[in-house]
Amino acid sequence: MKGRLSLVAAVVAGTALTLAGCGSSGSSGSSGSSGGEEGGSSYRVLVLGGVSAEGVLADNAKTSIVAAKAGAESVNKNGGVLGKKVEVTVVDDGGKPTVAVTKLREALAKDGKPDLVLNSGPSTVAAATLPILKQNNILSMNIGPTEDSFNPSAFPLNFDLSPSAADYAKGFVAHVKEKGYKTVGIIHGSSAFGVTFGKEIEKALTGAGISVVGTEEYDVAALDMTPQLQSLQAKKPDALMMNAYGSPVGYLLKSLQKLQWDVPVVADISVATTGLISSPPPNGVLGTDQVKNLVMEAYGSTVYDPANTRVKEAVDTMAAIDAIPATLVMAYNYDALPLVAAAAQKAGAVDAKALAQALEDPAVHEKAVTAMLPRYNFTAQSHSPNVDENAFVFIAPSTIKNGQYQK
């Protein structure tokens, strides 16, 4: 099965939206409508997020939530979902799957079924809540994909907003070809995504005629990756493909510096979401020799471009609502409501099954005014975005403002 990016992290519609406090829920607008009913006056969205979490997970959740709010505001400005105003409730799950299950069940018992459920990651929350959503026939869009969350046979009403590892590999192939690298080495972590990344990138590069001289796995709890890097260095690849997230990014870069290995490093999107990269010393490595050879895979939306008016509008809307503490890699939820609005127009209905069927239609993908990814390509066989290499860019580390790299 396709591996998924599992980022460890880690909607203002008409009237003000109230962000839930720890262990509670809040809503925007009237809460008297009945979720999932054609006759209801509003389209009700429930967003799970680790508001009370700490560190990276909290920043990711806050960015995810503000993105959902901004997407709702954008849709409401254009008539809502089939004429229904989007109303959003945010539930604090602490970033913990057991809490998410409890809070979701409490929300369903208290307020009835929402029309749509979004989450803010990590993938463990999705794994815990998707069976409940399936049992209750609730449409969901997921930013923390699991091994089978994209599979319509397993979860017919769920759609993953995050691309798969196979999708990310397409971007690597295009970049390696553009740079003219003939041989590469791969180093990846022992995490579920790291292992999947290693397999997918090796398969994609080999299939494209690029020679993979070696693949090394490191323990994500390790403090030194020198032995694995030495093994790859001895094989003299033209470039090094690197997967890491969080503290392992720093340890890998230190190990490379220790070896004095002057090799181009092409890192995955997990590296691009690690704050160490965009922070100068003493808290980061931005501007140091450790990152002089580093480029990272990212989405076009995560790089500031004043000419990209669709992304600029999304960012401006988000920033007007609240701070954007993480990169726009965590802002997939902005795209959820435009996708649903386009699907509702196609289906002429807002019930979950009708919307799910419409979301598999290419015409809906074409019409949806999404920003974080330029286009989604859900099909009846795969509820994954199925993006192509044009969705990705490779950038050097830089500072981040409002969720965007400034290069």
225 φ/ψ angles, rounded to the nearest 5 degrees? -110, 20
Residues 115 and 132: their CA atoms lie apart, in Å, by 14
Report the distance separating Cα 334 and Cα 182, nearest Å: 38
Residue 28 confidence (pLDDT): 38
Residues 291 and 351 in one domain: no
62 assigned to some structural domain = yes
**pLDDT in the model for residue 191:** 86
pLDDT of residue 38: 53
Residues 135 and 171 in one domain: no
Pair 344, 290 in one domain: no
Residue 292, helix vs strand vs coil? coil
- Whether 216 and 141 share a structural domain: no
Sign of CA dihedral 300, 278, 335, 297: positive
Within a domain: residue 16? no
Q: 291 and 174 in one domain?
A: yes
Indicate whether 144 belongs to any domain. Answer: yes
Whether 15 is covered by a domain: the verdict is no
What was the pLDDT predicted at 273? 85
In a domain, 9, yes or no: no
For tokens 């999947």, name the residue: 196
Q: Which amino acid, one-letter code, is at 205? A: L
Q: Please tell me the predicted confidence (pLDDT) of residue 145.
A: 87
Say if strands 85-92 and 25-27 run parallel, antiparallel, or are unpaired: antiparallel
Kindly write down the DSSP assignment for every residue of 32-98, as one continuous string: -S-TT-TT-SEEEEEEEE-TT--HHHHHHHHHHHHHHHHHHHHHHHTTTBTTBEEEEEEEE-TT-HH
CATH number of the domain residue 245 falls in: 3.40.50.2300
Query: pLDDT at position 146, please?
Result: 87
Which residues 6+ apart lie within 8 Å of 207 measured at CB? none
Q: Residues 248, 368: one domain?
A: no
Beta bridge partners of 48: 91
Closest CA to 342 of 146, 36, 80: 80
In a domain, residue 13? The reply is no
128 with 30, same domain: the answer is yes
Q: What is the block-wise mean pLDDT of the chain (407 residues), using blocks of 10 residues? A: 39 30 36 46 96 89 97 97 97 96 97 96 92 98 92 98 92 97 97 89 97 97 97 98 93 97 96 90 94 96 95 98 94 98 98 98 97 96 94 94 92
Q: pTM, whole model, 2 decimals?
A: 0.84
Does the residue 2 lie in any domain?
A: no
Task: Give the residue from 198, 197, 209 showing the smallest Cα distance to 173.
Answer: 209
The pLDDT, as a whole number, for residue 3 is 42
Q: Are residues 296 and 180 in the same domain?
A: yes
Which pLDDT score, from 0 to 100, does residue 407 have? 77
In this structure, the answer to whether residues 125 and 202 fall within a common structural domain is no
- The number of distinct structural domains making up the chain is 2
Domain co-membership, 267 together with 118: no
183 and 209 fall within a common domain:
yes
Classify residue 173: in a domain, yes or no: yes
Q: What residues make up the domain containing 350?
A: 25-163+310-386
